[in-house]
Amino acid sequence: MSDLKQLPLHALHAAHGAKFVPFAGYDMPVQYAAGVMTEHKHTRDKAGLFDVSHMGQVLLPPSADAALETLVPVDVIGLKEGRQRYGLFTSPAGGVLDDLMIARRAGDLFLVVNAARRAHDIAHLQKAIDGVEEVTDRALLALQGPAAEAALSRLLPEVAAMRFMDVAELGWRGMALWVSRSGYTGEDGFEISVPAAAAEDVAAELLAMEDVLPIGLGARDSLRLEAGLHLYGQDLAEDISPIEAGLTWAINKVRRKGGAREGGFPGADRILTEMDTGAPRRRVGLRPEGRAPMRAGVPLFDAPEGGAQVGLVTSGGFGPSIGAPIAMGLVDSAVAPDATLYGEVRGKRLPGAQTGLPFYKPTYKR
């Protein structure tokens, strides 16, 4: 008997021919009959519907903004109602405990955290904040791609006026849907928190549209990799600082040195120092030569034979929109940006060129 949790839409996924895999304690659809390549390209060309109900949804009192700032290097106090912001839980050592989304709504702060870190993050919040409420009766869907606005507008006409990182509570058939214009594919799109009892109705309405297909974890991973977006546990971890991870932009100005609320978050000394003087490692994009992918965990060397290990691939695979293997990694900052790196795959070193990120330019509606 499996102890994996099931998503509220498990039966719907099965009806669409989903293949399931264990992920973060859940039985998750990894792909459907069309396959990962088709699902990826469909999301880039039209619209894909992802079930991300495994993610944690958390509500905080609106007055908890200052307390939340003791845990994240983010301007929460200055976050306007109807807007959301990317954030990081940092550790006292200056690493990353998780990444999350923070939204300010009329009556609360709404957080979305990673599934594998849900219990950790809620306990972490409860130590610093009173009134932390985990949302357990709602599913979370993500509709992503250039046709996402047209599709969701058929159910919720108001979404057409939303811009990237806007949030809104919208009525549908007598219930409240919590909508943000965001996602994790590099495409325009939306995340929709839905009462669990209505999730199948919402999903079925969207999947009945010609431009919308169900998309699994496989394509979600290749889409976010092309967009240069981090996966916690690989590209982000407790032993990787935000600066090493290329997330300097996520340290909001007001929390930086000289800002009105400088520091005051865990690991601030290390993180703010690295912003000034540089970090020991830096995040890079990699374009391996040939067709063989370099996946997470592949060691990176500075020479085709011998030499020294100078880094590690944190995420890698094939980029369907790129038509070639792509990877992200952490390398020693002393390595020249134009130096060829060599990933050791099954005992053979394969060359790869360092490149900027993202591999695929995002198309968010600003």
Asked whether the beta carbons of 292 and 348 are under 8 A apart, the reply is no
pLDDT of residue 283: 98
In a domain, 94, yes or no: no
Q: What is the pLDDT of residues 163-188, one digit of tens each?
A: 999 999 999 999 999 999 999 999 99
The mean per-residue pLDDT over the stretch 203-208 comes to 98
From 198, 226, 254, the end of a domain falls on 226
Phi, psi of 285 (to 5 degrees): -90, 150
- Range of 186's domain? 5-55+136-226
pLDDT of residue 2: 67
Quote the number of domains for the chain: 2
Q: Same domain, yes or no, for 201 and 331?
A: no
Asked whether the beta carbons of 57 and 111 are under 8 A apart, the reply is yes
Phi, psi of 192 (to 5 degrees): -130, 115
The mean per-residue pLDDT over the stretch 319-339 comes to 98
pLDDT of residue 307: 95
In a domain, 14, yes or no: yes
Q: What is the pLDDT of residues 272-303, one digit of tens each?
A: 999 999 999 999 999 999 999 999 999 999 99
Q: Same domain, yes or no, for 51 and 168?
A: yes
In a domain, 166, yes or no: yes
The mean per-residue pLDDT over the stretch 236-263 comes to 98
Q: What is the CATH number of the domain that holds 287?
A: 2.40.30.110
Task: Provide, rounded to the nearest whole percent, the portion of the chain with pLDDT above 90.
Answer: 97
The mean per-residue pLDDT over the stretch 237-258 comes to 98
Higher pLDDT, 316 or 364: 316
- pLDDT of residue 1 exceeding 70: no
Q: Same domain, yes or no, for 14 and 146?
A: yes
Q: Same domain, yes or no, for 175 and 30?
A: yes
Q: Same domain, yes or no, for 45 and 147?
A: yes
pLDDT of residue 218: 97
pLDDT of residue 3: 85
Which residue spans within 276-364 are E strands per DSSP?
Answer: 281-288, 299-301, 309-319, 324-332, 341-345, 348-355
- pLDDT of residue 232 exceeding 60: yes
Q: Same domain, yes or no, for 356 and 219?
A: no
Amino acid at 245: A
pLDDT band at 92 (very low <50, low <70, confident <90, very high): very high
The mean per-residue pLDDT over the stretch 315-321 comes to 97
Q: What is the CATH number of the domain that holds 16?
A: 3.30.1360.120
In a domain, 154, yes or no: yes
From 205, 226, 247, the end of a domain falls on 226
Query: What is the three-state SS of 255-266?
Result: HCCCCCCCCCCC
pLDDT of residue 366: 79
- Taking Cα atoms as reference points, which of 75, 62, 44, 52 lies closest to residue 104? 62
pLDDT of residue 314: 98
Q: Same domain, yes or no, for 210 and 285?
A: no
From 184, 206, 226, the end of a domain falls on 226
In a domain, 167, yes or no: yes
Q: Same domain, yes or no, for 221 and 334?
A: no
pTM for this one? 0.96
Q: Same domain, yes or no, for 44 and 142?
A: yes
- Taking Cα atoms as reference points, which of 162, 107, 186 lies closest to residue 364? 186
Q: Same domain, yes or no, for 190 and 338?
A: no
The mean per-residue pLDDT over the stretch 247-275 comes to 98
Beta strands 109-113 and 56-60 are: antiparallel
In a domain, 149, yes or no: yes
Q: Same domain, yes or no, for 44 and 180?
A: yes
- pLDDT of residue 138 exceeding 90: yes
Q: Same domain, yes or no, for 351 and 207?
A: no
| Residue 112: strand pairing partners | 57, 101
The mean per-residue pLDDT over the stretch 333-356 comes to 97
In a domain, 189, yes or no: yes
- Taking Cα atoms as reference points, which of 167, 220, 173 lies closest to residue 200? 173
pLDDT of residue 365: 87
Average pLDDT score over the chain: 97
In a domain, 181, yes or no: yes
Exposed / middle / buried, residue 21 (Cβ in 10 Å: 0-12, 13-18, 19+)? middle
Phi, psi of 7 (to 5 degrees): -75, 155
